[in-house]
Chains A and B, each alone.
Chain A
Amino acid sequence: MRVLVVYCHPVPESFCAAIRDEALATLKGAGHEVRLIDLYAEGFDPVMGCDERRAYNDGPPGDPALARHIEYLQWAEGILFIYPTWWYGLPAMLKGWLDRVWATDVVFRLADGPGRVEPLMGHVVRLGVITTCGAPWWWSLVVGQPGRKTLLRGMRALCAWRCRTFYLAHYLMDTSTQESRTAYLRKVRARLARF
């Protein structure tokens, strides 16, 4: 399968980076064709500007900096997001990537008829999220897991009708131990081996 890995963390030596390396190795080992977008490394600009917002409903975004992102998105059959959960959701960098790249005539079309949105991401049949959370899982549930819902419900609705999803989170990161992190990496490997 063609898998796009979208990775977002500011610190190259972070645990999230270890997850990314584990994920890339496991996916490649399982025979998938893998492409990586490392948002911080490439200095992606997550802020949608005035002109881009004005033209949003008229067609795909014209900024040449987005062309490769759009191409990767259209190439993918599976998308794997790896990021730290901050304030229960996506880091601004990743949220801005959705705002700017998951745009009109890229991931959906405004169809005829009142309020109709036609999904354009039917080629995506797998969506996965691997994340780290400072909060405990029960409080994440109370807040409604905004990051999970945004990606695995909101964005999934634009993908294939039978698109399958998974969500792996390491909770209580601030009190994590070497053992808990090693065990989590094992879990990541096992889950991605059957991506």
Chain B
Amino acid sequence: MKVLVLHAHPVETSFNAALHRLIVERLRAKGHDVDDCDLYAENFEPVLSRAERLAYHAPRTADEPVAPYVARLKAAEALVLCFPVWNYGFPAIMKGYFDRVFLPDVSFALVDGKVRPTLRNIRKLTAVTTYGGDRFRTWLMGDPPRRIVNRQLRATIKPGARVSYLALHSMNLATDENRAAFMEKVARHMDAF
């Protein structure tokens, strides 16, 4: 399967970067065709510009700045997100990926003023993430990233596609055992992807 892996963490020695390496390694070992998109390493620009906003509803063109990212997203059959939760959301660089790449005629179409999801090529979606806060506090705050993945992204991709959300909470208190157990969980998930 062609899997697009989106990763967003600035520190190469972080636990999140280790999760990212594990994901890519395990998927490749199982024979998947992985497109590894490390947003920090690729220096992705997350800020939607004035020109992009003005051209937002215009037909897509091959020479717009995000065209290569659009092509990679459309070529994918599965999507894996690997990111830390900061302030109850995606890091800005990943939020900007959705702002700039999830465009009309890419992830949705406006038909008679109604939104039609169009990312039917994505048949599987997994998010792998780490939270500083504990599970209860995150739940209390409404857990925005979990909702975005489980509801909004689920509604954007192929209907009935499998959506998984793997999260490690209380990162600031996590022990080596917690982290190892989570790595193991992610590895098992990727082996069975």
Query: Which residue numbers of A lie inside 8 Å of B, CB to CB?
Result: 10-12, 14, 40, 46-50, 52-54, 57, 86-93, 95-96, 98-99, 102, 110, 114-115, 117, 134-135, 142-147, 149-150, 153-155, 157, 174-175
Contacts and interface: CB of A to CB of B under 8 A. Distances in A.
B99 A144 contact: no
B92 A150 contact: no
Interface string B163-180: 000000010110000000
B46 A92 contact: yes
Given A86-B48, A135-B115, A175-B113, A48 B91 contact: yes
Contact of B148 (A102, A146, A174): A146
B93 interface: yes
B47 A143 contact: no
Interface string B79-94: 0000000111111110
B61 to A, nearest CB: 19
B88 A92 contact: no
B148 A48 contact: no
Given A49-B10, A93-B47, A102-B87, A149 B142 contact: yes
A149 B146 CA distance: 12
B89 A10 contact: no
A135 B148 CA distance: 14
Given A47-B92, A92-B93, A115 B173 contact: yes
A99 B87 contact: yes
